[in-house]
Structure 1
Amino acid sequence: MTNASQPKDRQTMNPQTIAIVKSTVPALQAHGEAITSHFYKIMFEGHPQVKAFFNEAHQAAGTQARALAGAVIAYGAHIDRLEAIAGALPRIIQKHAALGVLPEHYPIVGHYLLRAVKEVLGDAATDEVIAAWGEAYESLAGLLIAAEEAVYSANAAQPGGWRGTREFRVARREDESEVITSFYLEPVDGGALLAFTPGQYLTLVLEIDGQPVRRNYSLSDAPGKPWYRISVKKEEGGRASNWLHEAAAVGTRLQVQAPCGDFVLQPAGEQARPLVLVTGGVGITPAMSMLESVAHTGRPVHFVHAARHGGAHAFRARVDALAQRHANVKPLYVYDAPRESDTPHATGFVTRELLAGLLPEDRDVDLYFLGPKPFMQAVYANGLALGVPKQQLRYEFFGPLEALEA
């Protein structure tokens, strides 16, 4: 991947442009969400084909608009020192590459974003302001286009790799819980599979009721198998998840983008720190890929999973089997609404005290956590309070990234 943290074209941006963009940040802070909400509305009206790149649930909840507003404000505030926000760029680049964002999409976004700024801010959005933001947008678009092309080229060049979509068939499906089903996907062409890193995800390019839909699903098995496995929760009102559960039978063919994602299991090195995987609900899926990859290595692993009850708990039998075979794997299950027949290790929630009991005195662990936003906020706060180094707390949201600090 190109080094997105050191963009080369920002040095050539007009100093007056930088000054104008930075001067508009207070107005964007006051009206940012109104601008981005209006942006999505008018863009979808003018180019309905791009709706497939966005999750309707995130749109309806307003999280997409809030996330974009935050990104625009951060870009404007740091336009003269983009290294301050470089950490956010790999996730954006990987998400765009996963969805199949192409250079021709950027002018569409730019046109409607500038139009939304003008229509929401009115007279405050002078010609000079619009021109400055247009130049700033073109600079950022150029950076992202180059970085995304590097991802596409690298994926296509590797053994088993491809660019764009590739046709897969559902070779097998298995119920993992009352709400989560695994789909084993094999390439129709019979060719090799691109290697992936535990924690990455696939994008399915679907057509549901005549409408295109793109959805990301974490890979839930170890690399090196003759299939890709995704494990999907049937969400209430979830367009893609319901279609997969109800219509994707064995033999169904699906269009799939290559694996992407920067939330991955980091190389352990010779002196591997203990690994603590803490998940809630369907957040277990990428953690299963990580566990399947390290269980046999001897690296100490605490696998903590929170679920409503046994009926909603996916992969319990598999994790228990790994723990029986590998003494380094220590599972701990927490149910907040257990049924009478359930046998969790604890009831309630994943508390600070529970985590403290798992951590070594020096707190030198790699702690990966995934789940619903309140769950992640609690684990993040508790990890910091217990002294786990911030750089060793690793996480990814399923939706638009928002601050973990509650």
Structure 2
Amino acid sequence: MNNNQKELIKATIPILQSSGEVLTDYFYKRMFKHNPELKSVFNMGNQSNGKQKQALAGAVLAYAEHIDNPSVLINVLKGIGNKHVSLNIQADDYAIVGGHLIASISEVLGEVATPELIYAWTIAYRELAEIMIGIEAELYLNNESITSRWNGWRSFTIKEIVKESDEIKSFYLYPTDGKGIATYTAGQYLSVQVFVEQLGLVQPRQYSLSSSFNPKYYRISVKKETSLGVHPEGMVSNTLHKMKVGDAVNVSAPAGSFSLQNVDVPIVLISGGVGVTPLLSMLETNQKNNQNKTVWIHGCRNESVHAFKEVINSMEEESDWLETFLFNEDSEQDVDANVIKGRVDLHLCKEAILLKNAQYYLCGPAPFIKAHYESLISFNIDKSDIFYEEFGPQSFRLN
């Protein structure tokens, strides 16, 4: 892009700040009207609740704000690239999406969208697409070069289902073809694809791997969402919870950039609700391999939805490297005197978590992550030592 084109892009920043979601809402409606087959690629729950249009609006704005140096967004782009590969997105798909996005800018902005502005955004999108295609090509090539990894979808059979709480079930997925499965780094996820009868569509979802690596199976632990109403949110989790041993699902190879970064330092694992799943994988991996000093902090509503509590208690009793802090909002329902009443409060754990050279991992909903990230910063924890995973479309950037 030349400087004039970059200035045209930056001139649209105020519009994106005030009306970005109007643009992205229009874009998705336009794209699904002309290419309805893409509904099976996108999460229609996030389309319904507005999270996807919010996330895309934020991404477009961030790209415009950093158009002079988009490389500062590379970590975010790598995260998106991992998800795209897990959904088997191909280079040709960028032309379809780009065509609808540029058309949407033109149609929504009206007279403001001069030919020069549209051309500038066309060039900007083309350059971004080239970055993304390059990131994803490397990931696809990596899958082909590593033993037992694969690209695209592969059938896995459910051979065991375990109830972990009133809301969460664990599914043990074995390759239907009996061949080997790919290893993964603790914290990564699988994309799982099922047919949702209510929608008449195949739908993909990402679920964190909730155990350390086992060469025979993958384990995911899924929370059943109950606030369905007339929207498709939670329809995949409900579909999974209705499945039985012997049923099959499609699975892509493990992916994701949220993972243990350094296996030789203490770790502090902070989770809320079903955010426990990737951190449990980290904890089990550390138990098997390193047994570095670990502080486990978890919060949930009450005893009935407290998944993996017995596992964690048993692990702590058997080790001298693990210390736990458990928070329940309705703790009067609990018989465990060690449970702290209320939401997670890192100030109550401050002395325990200020460990030399430690790394900190956060997982849960956006408000949970933001609050505890800010607490860690207030404790003078360096940003480079804090890592987080927000379930669903990423709505913010803290690092």
- TM-score bracket, normalised by the shorter chain, equals over 0.9
Task: Establish whether residue 222 from structure 1 lines up as the match of residue 222 from structure 2.
Answer: no
CA distances 1:176-199 after superposition (whole Å, capped 9, x unpaired)? 111100000010111111010000
Task: Establish whether residue 337 from structure 1 lines up as the match of residue 325 from structure 2.
Answer: no
Task: Establish whether residue 63 from structure 1 lines up as the match of residue 51 from structure 2.
Answer: yes
> Which residue is equivalent to 1:349?
343
Deviates more, 1:74-83 or 1:147-156: 74-83
**Structure-to-structure mapping, 1:208-287, within 5 angstroms:** 208-209=196-197, 210-236=200-226, 237=228, 238-246=234-242, 248-269=243-264, 272=265, 274-287=266-279
Partner Cα separation in structure 2 for residue 267 and residue 341 of structure 1: 36
Task: Establish whether residue 141 from structure 1 lines up as the match of residue 137 from structure 2.
Answer: no
TM-score (norm 1): 0.91
> Which residue is equivalent to 1:78?
66
Q: Which residue among 356, 359, 363 is the counterpart of 1:366?
A: 359
Deviates more, 1:216-225 or 1:337-346: 337-346
> Which residue is equivalent to 1:180?
168
CA distances 1:210-251 after superposition (whole Å, capped 9, x unpaired)? 3110100000010134110000000122110000001x2111
Task: Establish whether residue 289 from structure 1 lines up as the match of residue 278 from structure 2.
Answer: no
Residues 303 and 333, structure 2, Cα contact 8 Å, conserved in 1: no
Partner Cα separation in structure 1 for residue 155 and residue 74 of structure 2: 34
Residues 295 and 301, structure 1, Cα contact 8 Å, conserved in 2: no
Deviation of 1:257 (Å):
0.7
Residues 364 and 388, structure 1, Cα contact 8 Å, conserved in 2: no
Deviates more, 1:226-235 or 1:311-320: 311-320
Give the count of matched residue pairs.
Answer: 388
Task: Establish whether residue 386 from structure 1 lines up as the match of residue 379 from structure 2.
Answer: yes
Partner Cα separation in structure 2 for residue 234 and residue 292 of structure 1: 24
Q: Which amino acid aligns with 2:123?
A: E
Q: Which residue among 34, 37, 53 is the counterpart of 1:49?
A: 37
SS in 1 for 2:37: helix
Residues 336 and 349, structure 1, Cα contact 8 Å, conserved in 2: yes
SS in 2 for 1:251: coil
Q: Which residue among 316, 320, 331 is the counterpart of 1:323?
A: 316
Q: Which amino acid aligns with 2:170?
A: S
Residues 307 and 334, structure 1, Cα contact 8 Å, conserved in 2: yes
Q: Structure 2: 5+ residue runs without aligned partners?
A: 229-233
Deviation of 1:150 (Å):
1.2
Deviation of 1:132 (Å):
1.4
Residues 331 and 339, structure 2, Cα contact 8 Å, conserved in 1: no
Partner Cα separation in structure 1 for residue 300 and residue 378 of structure 2: 24
Deviation of 1:56 (Å):
2.8
Q: Structure 1: 5+ residue runs without aligned partners?
A: 1-12
Identity %: 37
SS in 2 for 1:163: coil
Q: Which amino acid aligns with 1:349?
A: R
SS in 1 for 2:375: helix
What is the alpha-carbon root mean square deviation over aligned residues?
Answer: 1.7
Residues 192 and 206, structure 2, Cα contact 8 Å, conserved in 1: yes
CA distances 1:93-151 after superposition (whole Å, capped 9, x unpaired)? 11111121111211111111111111211000011111111111111112211211211
Partner Cα separation in structure 1 for residue 57 and residue 261 of structure 2: 31
